[in-house]
Structure 1
């Protein structure tokens, strides 16, 4: 009976004797491990990055007038498209409705009103369109951060978003004419501040907007006591569902008058979509491991066919079938282990480059949810090698010793 150390030595010897063939077989495992780990880490980093960006608005609810027919308000304030119903420019949230919302929200967070309109603007010889917001002066100071200048203090001063400032070359002190002169009088306002970039947001999209006080807005468009939407900021995200339900129960008691949108649901939907996409792409990448499995199977079958006489000699000196089986399983395991280790090292290097290039940041690269794909891919790669080597090993262990000795 041959000791296990000798069986392992024979397996290592076989790999070394057919080094190039073994390297090519292990290369398939390396590619498979790199593909699965890199794509998994990229998807996780993308999900974590998006979640971080959206987390600031996940505790916000948006209350808008009900559009009818199960419609969904899309496009943000001032640009509403009713899906499944008709849009009505006269739809608004009344002052008494806002007071009800404010009363409900009082113990959970803060509610504030938003007036908005998309209108033509003119700066010198340049014309364009922008969203005009009307907010309470205290809310402007609380929610928005001025990067340059100051907050508006009068009905003729405004702050603007950075994208709008860049496109129209606006600075502090610039004047903007709001309105179409062909349709009526225009209103001239002075820029007193440029806001910090805010990016995507469910409540206020200010990067391409002009923000002034409520009095400025109603002075231009009227609508005293009428609001386009009410935004709710809850202190604890766990209370978002309770607040949403309470508002709907109170304001939609007799008939549907408002629609409440929960930002956290959008975040869950986005992260779920990213996870599904990542899983799908990883499944495609796993095909490379199937190709590697075929390669390992071929190498092991060739090894069995080339060593028939050696197997016969080993069996004739007392080697058990289980030991022959283990010898070939060890050989497949060596190929899988070496390929998995090299693949893991390559995954860390290539994965970092892929994440940095595709996501734009490697901040979450070494996060547990990201780095776990490396050992996972290693385990899958090594397991595939061992499973693929089972049949060739079984075939070798069941060769007839006498027939094996007669082989050329």
Structure 2
């Protein structure tokens, strides 16, 4: 019963006698565990954050023109259609009526969209200009400050615009460029919108929302909508409403595309999964380096302790016990390195997640924290596997030859 304890104590003694070498070997495991766990947590937090944001619009269907790449959710608004194929570049007013009939009791509204240059104070850039009718604007959007536009010279803006350009209620924004055909137009901000986060119906956080009259007067394309959004009353009916719209408008030709947040979520999750896999493969290189380092440490340990092994074998220590002694040594290095790596993963991961995702709301969720024990297990297992061959080699040494070693 005492032999396993003695074997373990001998392993601990070897680690202590070669502390610096053991620490350097464990450092590779620490780095590998931190890399794998942190990348996993970043991916999990991004996925959970996107899922939560899209869940808020899970009952929304987005209908966009099926133009083979034109239009779409973030495509151009009215006035951008081709002369050869006008019907493919926007949703017409007749199509909007068909969508509204097919959607039944669901709330349906249209959306104009255009990208344009803006200037305010000393700052300038490009942003999305949205427009909808007054009723839809008040129904769909929520203000945190100010009021909705009442004239064509008034607009409301998203919260990101406030942060990016230092705009506030009452500020003036110049839209357009004097060299463009539309020229420049100055509008006044009357309201700041509530943050919506990632959403597929309307990305208003970094956009300007104008009246329909202002938009069509500047960009043209009256009754030519970039997209139509359908807010379904009962989320359980969303598939039925989607099929109804598809059957009504795409009976003969594919006129529109009907999308919901689940499809967008699948696309985002797939993209994040690919990026995460690639990043984890890179992180795995650090564990490969750690494995080589531990293999080298264990081989050096066997070489330096040949005489000790010979003495142990001569007093009756079995081959299996010699093998176990070196496996224990590799395991100690791996477990200590994985433990330190786990602690550092929580600290570093928290900072990195906050920096990249912008929130740590989901950091302590199981889907995020599970990456820490997974990283520990991978690091410890790789460490032990790296010590198996040196341990096997030590157990196979001839005791007589080992005692003769200098």
Aligned-partner Cα distance in 2 for 1:122–1:350: 39
Q: Structure 1 residue 161 and structure 2 residue 160: aligned? A: no
SS at match of 1:389: helix
Give SS of 1:260's match: strand
Matched with 1:279 is: 277
Structure 2 SS opposite 1:209: strand
The 2-side partners of 1:170 and 1:87 are apart by 41
Contact persistence 2:298–2:390 (CA under 8 A): yes
Aligned with 2:393: secondary structure?
A: helix
Alignment match of 2:347 (pick from 343, 346, 349): 349
Q: 1:141 aligns with which of 103, 128, 138?
A: 138
Structure 2 SS opposite 1:73? coil
- Say what the alpha-carbon RMSD is for the aligned residues: 4.0
SS of aligned partner of 2:86? coil
Q: Which of 172-181 and 245-254 deviates more?
A: 172-181
* Closer/same/farther in 2, CA of residues 391 and 249 from structure 1, 3 Å limit: same
TM-score between both structures, scaled by the size of structure 1: 0.81
Aligned 8 A contact 1:111 1:231 in 2: yes
1:51 is matched with which residue? 51
Task: Measure the CA separation in 2 of the matches of 1:122 and 1:358.
Answer: 28
Distance 1:236 1:174 in 2: 41
Asked if 1 retains the 8 angstrom alpha-carbon contact of 2:176 and 2:183, the reply is no
- CA separation in 2, counterparts of 1:27 and 1:128? 47
Map 1:241-252 → 2, pairs under 5 A: 241-252=239-250
Deviation for aligned residue 1:190: 7.2
Alignment correspondent of 1:314: 312
The answer to whether the 8 Å contact 2:78/2:220 transfers is: no
Does structure 1 residue 101 correspond to structure 2 residue 108?
no
Partner of 2:401: 403
Superposed displacement of residue 199, structure 1: 5.5
Please, which runs of 5 or more residues in structure 2 have no aligned partner? none
Residue correspondences, number: 401
SS at match of 2:363: coil
Closer, same or farther: CA 114–33 of 1 in aligned 2, 3 Å: closer
> Does the CA contact (< 8 Å) of 1:156 and 1:188 recur in 2?
no
Deviation at 1:375, TM superposition (A): 0.8
Shift of 1:349: 1.6
1:304 pairs with one of 299, 302, 306: 302
After TM superposition, the structure 1 stretch with the greater mean CA deviation from structure 2, 270-279 or 166-175, is 166-175
Pair 374,79 (structure 1): closer, same or farther in 2 beyond 3 Å: farther
Structure 1 residues 194 and 349: CA distance shift in structure 2, 3 A: closer
CA contact (8 A) 1:59 1:264 kept: no
Where does 1:344-383 land on structure 2 (aligned, <5 Å)? Answer: 344-383=342-381
TM-score, length of structure 2 as denominator length:
0.82
Structure ID, larger Rg: 1
Structure 1 gap ranges (5+): none
Q: Distance in 2 between matches of 1:71 and 1:102?
A: 24
- Residue 75 of structure 2 corresponds to 76
